[in-house]
Amino acid sequence: MKSANLALAFSSMALVFALPGVVVGVAAADSTAPDADAIGWRIGCQLWSFNKFSFMEAIDKTASIGLKYAEAFPGQRLSLVLPETVKFDHTMSEEHRLLAQQKLEEAGVKLLCYGVVGLSRNETEARKVFEFAKVMGIETVVSEPAKKNLPAIDELAKEYNINVAIHNHPKPSYYWDYKVALDALEDCSPRLGVCADTGHWSRSGLDPLDAVKALKGRLISFHLKDLNAAGEADAHDVIWGTGALDLKALLKEVKDQGVETPVFSIEYEYNWDNNVPDIAACVEYFNQVVSEFEK
Is 160 inside any structural domain? yes
Q: Is residue 153 part of a domain?
A: yes
Domain span at 132: 22-293
Please, is 201 exposed, middle or buried when counting C-beta atoms within 10 Å of its C-beta (0-12, 13-18, 19+)? buried
In Å, how far from its chain's centre is CA 15? 29
Determine the pLDDT at residue 5.
44
**Residue 35 has what pLDDT?**
83
Q: Is residue 7 part of a domain?
A: no
Residue-level pLDDT, tens digit, the chain, 295 residues: 444 444 434 443 443 344 444 444 444 434 556 788 889 999 999 999 999 999 999 999 999 999 999 999 999 999 999 999 999 999 999 999 999 999 999 999 999 999 999 999 999 999 999 999 999 999 999 999 999 999 999 999 999 999 999 999 999 999 999 999 999 999 999 999 999 999 999 999 999 999 999 999 999 999 999 999 999 999 999 999 999 999 999 999 999 999 999 999 999 999 999 999 999 999 999 999 999 986 5
> Does residue 57 form part of some domain?
yes
Any idea what the CATH number is for the domain that residue 173 is in?
3.20.20.150
- Secondary structure (3-state) at 183: helix
Does 111 reside within a domain? yes
* 90 in a structural domain: yes
CA distance 190 to 210: 21
Question: What's the structural domain count of the chain?
Answer: 1
Neighbours of 16 (CB within 10 A): 6
Looking at residue 32, what is its pLDDT? 58
Measured between alpha carbons, how far is 67 from 151 in angstroms, rounded to an integer? 35
Does residue 207 form part of some domain? Answer: yes
Rounded to two decimals, the pTM is 0.90
Alpha-carbon span 198 to 207, nearest angstrom:
8
Q: How far is CA 224 from CA 17, 116, 128, 141, in A?
A: 30, 14, 28, 17
pLDDT value of residue 294: 67
Q: How far apart are CA 108 and CA 35, in angstroms?
A: 19
Amino acid making up residue 173: S
Residue 15 inside a domain? The answer is: no
